[in-house]
Amino acid sequence: MSTVDRPLPPLNADERTTLESWLDFHRATLALKCEGLDDRQAALASAPPSGLTLTGLVRHMAEVERNWYRRVFAGEDAPPIHDPAADPDGPDGGFEPVEGATLGQALATWRAEIDRARACCAGRALTDTGRFQGQDVSLRWIHVHMIEEYARHNGHADLLRERIDGTTGV
């Protein structure tokens, strides 16, 4: 039995509810893909030649949450979660395998960033803006981008999980 709650987004709701429900659905999907794995399994690069792992995906999505909601939307001066010297992919990296990184640590950091993202958005309109590359970017655009980001990486997570233990369809 799963410990991750992943309700289907409502089929007929207002725009904000629809966007936030789909974002939460995709967040829950990533958590489901990691459920029941130990650190060794979650660190397996199971789709060679790629070195991508489920732990790396979770670490990456923690950085992406921080970047878009805290840095871009809220304008916070939030430092990178992961050592930039160890992660050449930049401020939303986290993909690189790191000695000692555990799935539990990655999930805790990711969940904390999701909580901070929700706090950044609370009471704000979809038309409120942050700054990205010298331009205004709306919360609406950020939510849509994050849904796309999760959907793409959940596809990677599907393949990784299937190669690890054959689990599909989550």
Domains of the chain: 15-165 (1.20.120.450)
Distance CA 19, CA 3 (A): 23
* pLDDT tens track for 8-26: 999 999 999 999 999 999 9
Asked if residue 92 has pLDDT above 60, the reply is: no
Phi, psi angle pair for 162, to nearest 5°: -60, -40
Distance CA 115, CA 83 (A): 22
Q: Which band of pLDDT confidence, cut at 50, 70 and 90, is reported for residue 48? A: confident
Token pair, residue 146, equals: 């994050």
Average pLDDT over residues 79-87: 72
Distance CA 101, CA 55 (A): 8
Residue 73's Cβ-side half-sphere holds a number of Cα atoms within 13 Å equal to: 27
32 φ/ψ sector (left φ>0, alpha ψ -120 to 50, else beta): alpha
